[in-house]
Chains A and B, each alone.
Chain A
Amino acid sequence: MTSSRIAPGLLSRLLLTLALCVPALATAQVLDAGTVIGNESALPIVVVPMPYQGGGVPPETDVAQVISADLNRSGQFRSLPEASIVERPTRGNEIRYPTWQLLKQDFVVVGRVLDTGDGGYRVEYELYDVAKQERLLGLALSGRGKGMRDVAHQIADQIYEKILGVRGAFWTRIAYVTQSGVGPQSRYALMVADSDGVNPQAVTRSGEPLLSPAWSPDGKRIAYVSFERGNSTIYVQEIATGAREVVASFKGINGAPAFSPDGRRLAMTLSKGGNPEIYVMDLGSRALSQVTSHFGIDTEAVWTPDGHLVFTSDRAGKPQLYQVPAGGGDPTRISFGGDSNARASVSFDGKKIAAAQGSGNVYRISVLDRSYGGSGRWQTLSPGNLDESPSFAPNASMLIYAAKEGRRGVLWAVSADGRVRQRLVLADGDVREPAWSPYRQR
């Protein structure tokens, strides 16, 4: 009985995976919104639906579904589709291990949603190792109404960390820019959404282009570039209050802001001296120090954990990545793959650097792993053709990037090993310039 119900689910999943693994099919016409391009080597886990067992109105959020989707999107896990979940235990003592062994699941998550008594909900869940038949986690988290997605993301983080020993980054946010309309009617918005693209909120709106959002290390502020004053201008805005200030509005380009790891300084690109150079501004005193001085275009500086800046420069012809101490010094070229490399994103440990790598007319997200020594090793994570703006999750397990489908921009999340990609379903219109937030603070 069990096997006859499983087989169609497995077969259809296999076919779906095969179809989507063909790179040539990775176009807007083929990929449905939210489709995951699978990873057969990921850890199989089943997140059993968690029913509401309270006495009031059930929450809107399907907690188990959010957890399942998070784990799946990471590339580290392959969560069993709900249609294949043949048994629905809600507590550890209801788990029948042979069922999940037959389904080749390594881990089982069970749980239920209860009332807290003050109008909120409490999720009690347990994580089990199927082979050892052993409980790994048994925890409860509470939230209210719309906050239940936050609860689900935090549970996914706990499961991720328990199994992999790495902090999860599902309970984080992404910033991105949308454009609607064309020509003079264009409207732009800087948005912030949950890491899965849900709950989008506008941080600022403008009739002029917005670009280059960058998070402060505490996740409370965003720096960005706006053309609303006619020329590029760098703003820093507090997300909760909307209060913002102009930090750079010099003659020429004011671009590419990036907070230092301590949040006190902002690297930026200014061409007030006649040519785009990297500067570092002390946000307290507003004092500027010039880091680069070269007739090439120097821009897109980002910080490494040890106080260096990685930036884009075309001083050798094509754009490439260079590294320089934030206090100034001689830049060293660090990218030697593809025709060009630009717009770096540095992992939290400084070991990996993602970039938009160009070869001819094709631009793909590639990651330079520097832990191999020498000039490192490159791995391409995206299929192109015009992929850009990679941004690492704070645990470096995933990246988000912008791609073009037809005339519009869309965002994709990709696992750091490139095995799993998912298109994030956001607004209509053009979506671009994603930036993954730091960890949220409880």
Chain B
Amino acid sequence: MAPASSPQNSNNFKKGLTMNTATRVLLASAVIVALGACSKKVRETPDTTGGPTGPGTTTGGINDGIYGPEDLDTDACLRQRVVYFDFDQDTLRPEFQAQIACHAKYLRDRPGSRMTLEGNADERGTREYNLGLGERRGNAVSGAIQGSGGNGGQISVVSYGEERPVCSDSTEDCWARNRRVEIVYTVK
């Protein structure tokens, strides 16, 4: 049972934002200036297509288009926002790698976006231990997204342990559905 392997980039929120911005300096300098306050503006117009960072924009290094907020509802990969885990494990299963990669790309494409990773556990084991387990799972997804190029400064992790089940039967099927990390975009 490996511990959460990747370090939490807890203190480099601003630093990460700046670096991320620097790599995209070609995008639009106005965006850079407004980046600190960017989050609210983006959220106020979540359905706007073709905005300053919309799909029409091109940039070097990314060859398959840029994600926009609307893609969260339409893109088959981005719509996958739950990562499931094995019992008492926080190791990412290989089938979730594509999902991790597209959400990492979204964070790169939209430096003003923010996500919260909500870690959850099944009912087995004690509640406080499961708070720890849920956090580990959240950290594991956070680490994987960062490993795929996502910026840790855009990611928060919260653990609900076993307190937010999606079902309450004591069955393997239900337990499997509750052992999960939900990717929640707080700023699109």
Q: Which of B20-65 contact A (CB under 8 A)?
A: none
- Contacts known (A299-B129, A358-B124); A276 close to B135, Cβ less than 8 A: yes
Q: Which of A382-405 contact B (CB under 8 A)?
A: 385-386, 388-389, 404
- Contacts known (A227-B163, A407-B169); A271 close to B126, Cβ less than 8 A: no
Kindly list chain B residues whose C-beta atoms are within 8 Å of the C-beta of A356: 126
A293 within 8 A of B: no
Nearest-Cβ distance from residue A340 to partner chain B, whole angstroms: 8
B127 within 8 A of A: yes
A342 within 8 A of B: yes
Nearest-Cβ distance from residue B43 to partner chain A, whole angstroms: 17
Nearest-Cβ distance from residue A24 to partner chain B, whole angstroms: 17
A295 to B4, CA, bound (A): 8
A126 within 8 A of B: no
Closest to A407 in B: B168
A274 to B157, CA, bound (A): 11
A275 to B6, CA, bound (A): 11
Question: Which of the residues B1, B4, B123, B135 comes within 8 Å of A317, measured between beta carbons?
Answer: B1
Contact B129 A312, beta carbon cutoff 8 Å? yes
Kindly list chain B residues whose C-beta atoms are within 8 Å of the C-beta of A389: 126-127
A331 within 8 A of B: no
Contact A300 B128, beta carbon cutoff 8 Å? yes
Contact B7 A227, beta carbon cutoff 8 Å? no
Nearest-Cβ distance from residue A185 to partner chain B, whole angstroms: 13
A269 within 8 A of B: yes
A343 to B124, CA, bound (A): 13
Map CB proximity to A onto B127-149 as digits: 1 under 8 Å, 0 otherwise. Answer: 11101110110000000000000
Contact A342 B126, beta carbon cutoff 8 Å? yes
A72 within 8 A of B: no
Nearest-Cβ distance from residue A366 to partner chain B, whole angstroms: 13
Question: Which of the residues B7, B126, B135, B157 comes within 8 Å of A388, measured between beta carbons?
Answer: B126
Closest to A316 in B: B1
Question: Which of the residues A251, A255, A385 comes within 8 Å of B131, measured between beta carbons?
Answer: A255
- Contacts known (A300-B129, A312-B129, A314-B129); A252 close to B124, Cβ less than 8 A: no
How many Cβ-Cβ contacts under 8 Å join chain A to chain B? 92
A29 within 8 A of B: no
Contact A232 B159, beta carbon cutoff 8 Å? yes
A361 within 8 A of B: yes
Kindly list chain B residues whose C-beta atoms are within 8 Å of the C-beta of A297: 129, 132-133, 136
A356 to B129, CA, bound (A): 12
A253 within 8 A of B: yes
Closest to A342 in B: B126
Kindly list chain A residues whose C-beta atoms are within 8 Å of the C-beta of B169: 407
Closest to B166 in A: A183
Closest to B5 in A: A295
Kindly list chain B residues whose C-beta atoms are within 8 Å of the C-beta of A256: 128
B85 within 8 A of A: no
- Give the interface centre of B4, B125, B161, B168 by most chain A CB atoms within 10 Å: B125
Contact B125 A358, beta carbon cutoff 8 Å? yes
A71 within 8 A of B: no
Q: Which of A203-261 contact B (CB under 8 A)?
A: 209, 211-212, 227, 230-232, 251-253, 255-256
A404 to B10, CA, bound (A): 38
Kindly list chain A residues whose C-beta atoms are within 8 Å of the C-beta of B170: 385-386, 404
A433 within 8 A of B: yes
Contact B126 A343, beta carbon cutoff 8 Å? yes
A110 to B126, CA, bound (A): 45
A252 to B117, CA, bound (A): 12
Nearest-Cβ distance from residue B88 to partner chain A, whole angstroms: 8
Question: Which of the residues B8, B123, B128, B163 comes within 8 Å of A343, measured between beta carbons?
Answer: B128
Closest to A296 in B: B3
Q: Which of B147-177 contact A (CB under 8 A)?
A: 157-161, 163-164, 168-170
Kindly list chain B residues whose C-beta atoms are within 8 Å of the C-beta of A168: none
Closest to A212 in B: B128
Contact B124 A253, beta carbon cutoff 8 Å? no
A131 to B10, CA, bound (A): 72
Contact B4 A275, beta carbon cutoff 8 Å? yes
Kindly list chain B residues whose C-beta atoms are within 8 Å of the C-beta of A252: 135, 157, 159
Contact B131 A253, beta carbon cutoff 8 Å? yes
Kindly list chain A residues whose C-beta atoms are within 8 Å of the C-beta of B133: 297
Nearest-Cβ distance from residue A346 to partner chain B, whole angstroms: 15
Contact A312 B128, beta carbon cutoff 8 Å? yes
Contact A295 B159, beta carbon cutoff 8 Å? no
Contact B132 A271, beta carbon cutoff 8 Å? yes
Contact A299 B132, beta carbon cutoff 8 Å? yes
A297 to B126, CA, bound (A): 12
Question: Which residues of chain A have a CB within 8 Å of any CB of chain B?
Answer: 182, 209, 211-212, 227, 230-232, 251-253, 255-256, 269, 271, 274-276, 295-297, 299-300, 312, 314, 317-319, 340, 342-343, 356, 358, 361, 363, 385-386, 388-389, 404, 407, 432-433
3 residue pairs, one from A and one from B, having the closest CB atoms: A297-B132, A209-B163, A295-B3
| Cβ contacts A to B, 5 pairs, < 8 Å | A312-B126, A312-B129, A358-B124, A363-B125, A433-B127
